[in-house]
Chains A and B, each alone.
Chain A
Amino acid sequence: MSDPIFEIEHLSLAYPGRRGPPMAPILKDVSFTVERGGALTLVGPSGSGKSSLLRCLNRLEEPTAGTVRFEGRDIQALDPRRLRRGAALVMQTPVVFEGTVRDNLRIRPADVDGDLSEARLGQALADVGLEGELLDRDAATLSGGEKQRVTIARALLGDPRALLLDEPTSALDPPNAALVVETVSRLRETRGLSIVAVTHQPELVRRLGGMLLYLVKGEMQAYERVGDLDVRLQAFLAGERAAGVADAS
Chain B
Amino acid sequence: MSAGVVDLTLWQLALALLLVAAVAIVSIRQVLGLERDLLLGSIRTIVQLYGVGLILAAVFAAARWYWVVLILVVMTGVATHAAVSRLPKPIPGAYRIAAVSLFVSTGVTLAYVIGVVVQVGPWYEPQYIIPIAGMILGSSMTSAALAGDRLQGELRVRAAEVETRLALGFSGREAVQPLVRSALRAAMIPVVNGMMTVGLVQLPGMMTGQILAGSSPLLAIRYQIVVVFMQAAATALASLFFVRLIAGRYLTPAHQLRRYLL
Smallest beta-carbon distance A25→chain B, Å: 15
A84 located at the interface, meaning its Cβ lies under 8 Å from any Cβ of chain B in the complex: yes
- CA gap between A91 and B165 in the complex, in Å: 11
Contact partner of B252 (CB less than 8 A), chosen from A15, A18, A62, is A62
Smallest beta-carbon distance A202→chain B, Å: 27
B41 located at the interface, meaning its Cβ lies under 8 Å from any Cβ of chain A in the complex: no
- CA gap between A108 and B165 in the complex, in Å: 8
B residues within 8 A CB of A98?
A: 178
Task: Report how many residues on chain B are interfacial, defined by Cβ distance under 8 Å.
Answer: 20
B254 located at the interface, meaning its Cβ lies under 8 Å from any Cβ of chain A in the complex: yes
- CA gap between A81 and B171 in the complex, in Å: 7
B residues within 8 A CB of A91?
A: 160, 163-164, 167
Taking a contact as CB atoms under 8 Å apart, the answer to whether A58 and B167 are in contact is yes
When C-beta atoms are compared, the residue in chain A nearest to B257 turns out to be: A60
Smallest beta-carbon distance B34→chain A, Å: 36
A88 located at the interface, meaning its Cβ lies under 8 Å from any Cβ of chain B in the complex: yes
When C-beta atoms are compared, the residue in chain B nearest to A84 turns out to be: B169
Taking a contact as CB atoms under 8 Å apart, the answer to whether A17 and B256 are in contact is no
Contact partner of A108 (CB less than 8 A), chosen from B166, B168, B252, B261, is B168
- CA gap between A87 and B93 in the complex, in Å: 34
The answer to whether A61 and B256 touch (CB under 8 A), given A93-B160, A97-B161, is: yes
Task: Report how many residues on chain A are interfacial, defined by Cβ distance under 8 Å.
Answer: 29
A47 located at the interface, meaning its Cβ lies under 8 Å from any Cβ of chain B in the complex: no
Taking a contact as CB atoms under 8 Å apart, the answer to whether A15 and B260 are in contact is yes
- Chain B 224-262 per-residue mask, 1 if CB under 8 angstroms from chain A, else 0: 000000000000000000000000000010111100110
What's the dominant secondary structure at chain B's contact region? helix
Taking a contact as CB atoms under 8 Å apart, the answer to whether B168 and A80 are in contact is no
A residues within 8 A CB of B174?
A: 109
When C-beta atoms are compared, the residue in chain B nearest to A86 turns out to be: B169
Taking a contact as CB atoms under 8 Å apart, the answer to whether B169 and A85 are in contact is yes
Smallest beta-carbon distance A27→chain B, Å: 16
What's the dominant secondary structure at chain A's contact region? loop
The answer to whether A17 and B163 touch (CB under 8 A), given A107-B168, A112-B169, is: no
A210 located at the interface, meaning its Cβ lies under 8 Å from any Cβ of chain B in the complex: no
- CA gap between A88 and B165 in the complex, in Å: 11
B170 located at the interface, meaning its Cβ lies under 8 Å from any Cβ of chain A in the complex: yes
B residues within 8 A CB of A89?
A: 167
A10 located at the interface, meaning its Cβ lies under 8 Å from any Cβ of chain B in the complex: no
- CA gap between A18 and B174 in the complex, in Å: 25
A37 located at the interface, meaning its Cβ lies under 8 Å from any Cβ of chain B in the complex: no
- CA gap between A61 and B161 in the complex, in Å: 16
Taking a contact as CB atoms under 8 Å apart, the answer to whether A80 and B255 are in contact is yes
Taking a contact as CB atoms under 8 Å apart, the answer to whether B169 and A82 are in contact is yes
| Interface residue ranges, A against B (CB under 8 Å) | 15-18, 58-62, 80-82, 84-85, 88-89, 91, 93, 95, 97-98, 107-109, 112, 151, 154-155, 158
- 27 A-B pairs (CB sep. < 8 Å): A15-B260, A17-B260, A58-B167, A59-B256, A60-B163, A60-B167, A60-B257, A62-B254, A62-B256, A80-B255, A81-B170, A81-B171, A81-B255, A82-B169, A88-B167, A88-B168, A89-B167, A91-B164, A95-B160, A95-B164, A97-B165, A107-B168, A108-B169, A109-B171, A109-B174, A151-B164, A154-B168
| Interface residue ranges, B against A (CB under 8 Å) | 160-161, 163-171, 174, 178, 252, 254-257, 260-261
Given contacts A84-B167, A108-B169, 12 further A-B pairs with CB under 8 A are A15-B260, A16-B260, A17-B260, A18-B261, A59-B254, A60-B167, A80-B254, A81-B171, A91-B167, A93-B160, A97-B161, A154-B168
